[in-house]
C-alpha cells in the first residue's frame, strides 16, 4: 500500500557461515534477530515510523528474494539459505508453515495466483501453490538444456516473463517453456536481475558490473547508462579490484 518492508540491523555472519552459504549448505540459524530492533520492519514513508513485521521477530538473513502481492499485501519470501519458502499476510503473522521442497530457492514471482520459483540447486523452475497447501508443486520444469549444460550453466536463479517468452538467466524459452536459444550477452555475463523497461529489457550483470540493454527478442544493444549509474558502477569496479 506504499509502505516499505525492510530489514534492519547488521549481518554478523562468520566466515564459516558465508562459506556454508557459498557451498549451498542449509543455514541452521534461527530466525530471531540478534539485537532488539533488528529484523524485518514495515515502515510508513509519510510518517517515517517503522513497526516490527509480525507478532514474532523475523530476521531471514541470506534470503535472496521477496515478492509482495500488492492486491492483498501478502508477502512471499525465498529464505534461500534455509531452503524454504515463507508466506505472511500484511500484518506479518506467519500464515502457514514454511514449505521446504526446495534447494537454494532464489527468485519468486506470483503469476495468476501461482508462485513461480527458481529452484536453483534442483535446476528447475517450479510452479507452486500460493494459498491452499502452500508450496505444493504444481509443475517442475527442467532448466538443463544441452547448450546451458555444456557451458556449466545449470543453476537457474533469475527469470522474467517478457511478452510471451521466458528469460531464464542467459537463456530464452517460449511460452510453453520450450528452449529457444542463448540470449545475446557477453561471454562472462552473470545476470542477477532481469526487467522489462521502456520497450527494452534490462539485465543487471553482477560479474561485469554493468547493466545491459536488449531488444525484447534477446538481441544485445549495448550498455544502459546514465551519469549516476556510471559513477555507481565505477565505484563497484574499484571495490572489486581492491578485494
pLDDT of residue 105: 92
| Four-point Cα dihedral 218, 155, 193, 220, nearest 10 | -20
pLDDT of residue 98: 74
pLDDT over threshold 90, residue 216: yes
The cell for 134 is 502452500
Q: How far is CA 164 from the centre of its chain?
A: 21
| Four-point Cα dihedral 89, 95, 98, 104, nearest 10 | -10
Q: What CA–CA distance (Å, rounded) separates 205 from 237?
A: 12
Q: What CA–CA distance (Å, rounded) separates 116 from 109?
A: 5
Q: What is the pLDDT of the chain when averaged over all its residues?
A: 87
Q: What CA–CA distance (Å, rounded) separates 193 from 184?
A: 15
Query: Across residues 155-175, what is the average pLDDT?
Result: 94
Note the pTM of the prediction, 2 decimals. 0.86
pLDDT over threshold 90, residue 188: no
pLDDT over threshold 90, residue 36: no
Task: List, for residues 47-83, the tens digit of each pLDDT value.
Answer: 989 988 877 767 777 778 899 998 888 999 998 888 8
Listing from the earlier edge strand, what are the strands of the sheet with 39-43?
4-8, 39-43, 50-52
Q: What percent of the chain has pLDDT over 70?
A: 94
pLDDT over threshold 70, residue 29: no
Task: List, for residues 94-153, the tens digit of each pLDDT value.
Answer: 667 777 779 989 999 999 899 999 999 999 999 999 988 888 999 999 998 888 888 888
pLDDT of residue 149: 82
Amino acid at each position: 500500500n506504499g509502505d516499505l518492508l525492510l530489514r534492519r540491523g547488521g549481518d554478523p555472519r562468520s566466515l564459516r557461515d558465508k562459506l556454508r552459504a557459498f557451498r549451498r549448505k542449509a543455514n541452521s540459524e534461527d530466525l530471531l534477530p540478534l539485537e532488539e530492533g533488528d529484523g524485518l520492519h514495515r515502515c510508513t514513508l509519510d510518517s517515517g515510523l517503522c513497526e516490527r513485521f509480525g507478532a514474532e521477530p523475523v530476521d531471514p538473513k541470506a534470503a535472496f528474494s521477496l515478492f509482495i502481492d500488492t492486491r492483498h499485501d501478502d508477502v512471499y519470501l525465498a529464505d534461500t539459505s534455509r531452503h524454504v519458502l515463507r508466506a505472511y499476510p500484511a500484518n506479518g503473522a506467519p500464515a502457514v508453515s514454511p514449505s521446504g521442497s526446495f534447494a537454494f530457492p532464489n527468485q519468486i514471482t506470483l503469476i495468476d495466483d501461482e508462485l513461480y520459483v527458481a529452484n536453483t540447486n534442483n535446476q528447475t523452475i517450479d510452479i507452486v501453490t500460493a494459498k491452499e497447501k502452500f508450496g505444493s508443486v504444481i509443475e517442475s520444469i527442467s532448466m538443463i538444456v544441452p547448450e546451458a549444460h555444456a557451458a556449466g550453466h545449470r543453476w537457474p536463479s533469475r527469470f522474467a516473463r517478457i511478452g510471451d517468452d521466458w528469460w531464464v538467466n542467459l537463456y530464452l524459452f517460449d511460452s510453453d517453456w520450450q528452449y529457444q536459444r542463448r540470449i545475446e550477452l557477453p561471454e562472462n555475463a552473470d545476470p542477477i536481475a532481469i526487467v522489462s523497461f521502456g520497450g527494452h529489457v534490462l539485465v543487471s550483470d553482477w560479474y561485469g558490473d554493468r547493466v545491459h540493454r536488449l531488444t525484447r527478442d534477446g538481441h544485445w544493444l549495448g550498455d544502459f547508462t546514465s551519469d549516476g549509474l556510471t559513477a555507481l558502477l565505477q565505484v563497484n569496479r574499484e571495490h572489486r579490484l581492491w578485494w
